[in-house]
Structure 1
Amino acid sequence: MHIQTIGQGHPIVMLHGWGVNSAVFEPLHQMLSQYCVYYVDLPGFGDSPALDGDIDTWVDHIVEKTPENAIWAGWSLGGLVATRAAIRYPKHIKALLTIASSPCFMAREDEGWPGISPQVLHQFGEQLNQDLSKMIERFLAIQAMGSETAKQDIKQLRDLVMAKSLPQASALQQGLTMLKEVDLRPQLGTLDLPWLRVWGRLDGLVSRRVQPLMPPANDQTEDLILAKASHAPFFSHKQAFSDGVLSWLNKIS
């Protein structure tokens, strides 16, 4: 597994989302310069080889390669992986930061749970076998929908992501399966650690209706809602994102 370690200080493990790689976090390098950050390429993405298995296989592998007492931060699918790690390894992880992420990404209409429609996830699966690079570009465009700086955000995302190899089709399929099938909602009540949840109100992938359905904020759990941000708030609203996250990090580390 490829992990780029930058800086010194308390460890932070950074996990990217589906279809991209750890290069998307490059805009955060300066912001997190007071920490020792482990920028992970998830299995089959960026410079990491693919790994057979499910989300728990990924979690186990990342836990083996990163230090104890780290803060785990995950964007989108990476947030799902980080949350699963916090549930399975409560003594290993100091705190949790989820960015534009959901404990259950697929919509469950019978339960009134907002999410990505099964049809959209199916379309991405179909395109994996057709034109991989075109599918990745389409997905990157969705990341910034609704943002005031959408064109700029998409170009920056694309340039960073394409600096590394395209993800392996098998890893993309694994990730899609996780987005379709993993549902951590019943286990959220077991989490007993500082948790910051960052949301973009204009997010086209994680609906604004998810946040009110989450366990309520308390002395351990906080919500940071960026009113004009979409799915990549650390791109489109870097200052507001940095201010909120650094304030939280200063309180817990």
Structure 2
Amino acid sequence: MTQTKLHVKSVGQGLDVVMLHGWGVNGAVFTALPDLLPQYRFHFVDLPGFGESHVVAGDINDWLASIIANVPKSAIWIGWSLGGLVATLAALKYPQHVTALCTISSSPCFMAREEESWPGIPPNVLVQFATQLTQDLDKTIERFLAIQAMGSQTVKGDIKQLREWVLAKPQPQFTALDQGLDMLARVDLRNQLPLIKQPWLRIWGKLDGLVPRRVIKLMPNLSNSEDVILPKASHAPFISHTDDFVTALDGWLKKR
């Protein structure tokens, strides 16, 4: 099968780093990073149907296959939120392509599972988003951006920055937004996490409104994993607490 050509913006020189964004936005959310980390070659992927990338039919495995076909064959993968879920699956399914993994504000299972005491997004919230998508696309994305900054001390500035970068590219396709919500609702990688053998940095915001901090304690404590919790950050720590985020990421990247 011929893979869809995705939009990937490559910036800088050095170690290859693949960057995957979250739901409702695009690769432009990482705009500030190349100037702060000039010693790396970043590959900012617009996920299928977001930004300047075409829609890819199917599920998270189909998305991942398209990304694999459009990025360097050996790289560090960094994923934020939904992008972290995709990057985690990449480390499991294509270990030869992923030399190291970093997940930012990302859960292996975003949906709350009350019967298993697993914290996450309440099912009714995702149902509401799915319903609102069909009614008012712009308002739904705007609301989601607000939730991502919830809890941050610089919430207004965070939303403004997110909006400016996101709106610089084409609006996401409805199909892609719907696919992404389905992934957030259905994908569960919890049982597979101990199979990850690559170095794994997990960055969390203690005030995250989407990934509860209780998730951190439930993650497997692996010899190759490392957790960094930013005490005053929310769901987008690379925007609200850029310096702290860059310090943590750079320290880890230098070990690679």
Same fold? TM cut 0.5: yes
Q: 1:191 & 1:5 partners in 2: Cα distance?
A: 26
Counterpart of 1:236 in structure 2 is: 240
Counterpart of 2:56 in structure 1 is: 51
Q: Which amino acid aligns with 1:225?
A: I
Cα distance, 1:217 vs structure 2? 4.6
Alpha-carbon contact 1:217-1:223 (below 8 Å) kept? no
5+ residue gaps, structure 2, are 1-5
Counterpart of 1:23 in structure 2 is: 28
5+ residue gaps, structure 1, are none
Q: 3-state SS of the aligned residue for 1:125?
A: helix
Match of 2:159 among 135, 154, 158: 154
Counterpart of 1:176 in structure 2 is: 181
Cα distance, 1:68 vs structure 2? 2.0
Counterpart of 1:91 in structure 2 is: 96
Counterpart of 2:45 in structure 1 is: 40
Counterpart of 2:3 in structure 1 is: none
More displaced 10-residue stretch of structure 1: 25-34 or 134-143: 25-34
Q: 1:29 & 1:136 partners in 2: Cα distance?
A: 26
Counterpart of 1:227 in structure 2 is: 231
Counterpart of 1:120 in structure 2 is: 125
Q: 2:73 & 2:252 partners in 1: Cα distance?
A: 20
Cα distance, 1:69 vs structure 2? 2.0
Q: 2:244 & 2:168 partners in 1: Cα distance?
A: 27
Is residue 70 of structure 1 aligned with residue 75 of structure 2?
Answer: yes
Q: 3-state SS of the aligned residue for 2:255?
A: helix
Q: 2:140 & 2:23 partners in 1: Cα distance?
A: 12
In the TM superposition, what whole-angstrom CA distance separates every residue of 1:134-173 from its partner, at most 9, and x where no partner exists?
A: 1111100011111110000000101110111110000000
Cα distance, 1:66 vs structure 2? 1.1
In the TM superposition, what whole-angstrom CA distance separates every residue of 1:103-160 from its partner, at most 9, and x where no partner exists?
A: 0000000001000000000010001111111111110001111111000000010111
**Quick one: structure 1 residues 131 and 203, their matched pair in 2 at CA, closer, same or farther if it must change by over 3 Å?**
same
RMSD: 0.7
Alpha-carbon contact 2:34-2:40 (below 8 Å) kept? no
Match of 2:9 among 4, 11, 30: 4
Q: 1:185 & 1:114 partners in 2: Cα distance?
A: 13
